[in-house]
Amino acid sequence: MAYKPGNIPLSANFNVAIAKPIDSKFTVPLYADLATIPYPYAGLRTYVEETEITYVLQNDLVTWEILGGGSSVTKESFTATNNQTVFTLTDATATVMVYIGRNLAIEGLDYTYTSPTITLGTGALPGQIITVLKF
């Protein structure tokens, strides 16, 4: 099957490599995986298995809003230095989910949170990515 470039609107974000558009049926296992979606576009609807919620990517291509809700989720990432335990968010927020690498950390076990500071129970490895989802 051949595809002609002029027949596919750019807003469809058609991925020729997988031969299907990325649409509202797109699913990822973890919320952190939203950041790895190829060809993101405003309005992209994606179901996250971990949270059992469908999110919609906003015009800024950073903020994911809960479909049908008013809540939004933003992400902040840090690259750790050797044995770094303290990470300060750019703004205070009530609820966070913390990932150490691709692993969801457990509050009270792996980290503590006193807005706007996250303190890991064990120092991070140098270069390890700490991702914080802010609700």
Tell me the C-alpha distance between 111 and 122, whole Å.
8
Residue showing tokens 């205070």: 92
Amino acid sitting at position 98:
V
Question: What tens digit of pLDDT does each residue of 16-53 get?
Answer: 454 444 444 578 888 888 888 877 888 888 888 887 78
pLDDT of residue 68: 65
Three-state SS at 11 = helix
Please report, for the chain, the start and end positions of each structural domain, with discontinuous segments joined by +. 13-70, 74-134
Question: Closest Cα to residue 110, out of 122, 96, 95?
Answer: 122
Q: Is the overall model pTM greater than 0.85, yes or no?
A: no
Three-state SS at 50 = coil
Domain 13-70 matching CATH 1.10.3470: the answer reads no
Q: Residue 34 in contact with residue 48, Cβ under 8 Å?
A: yes
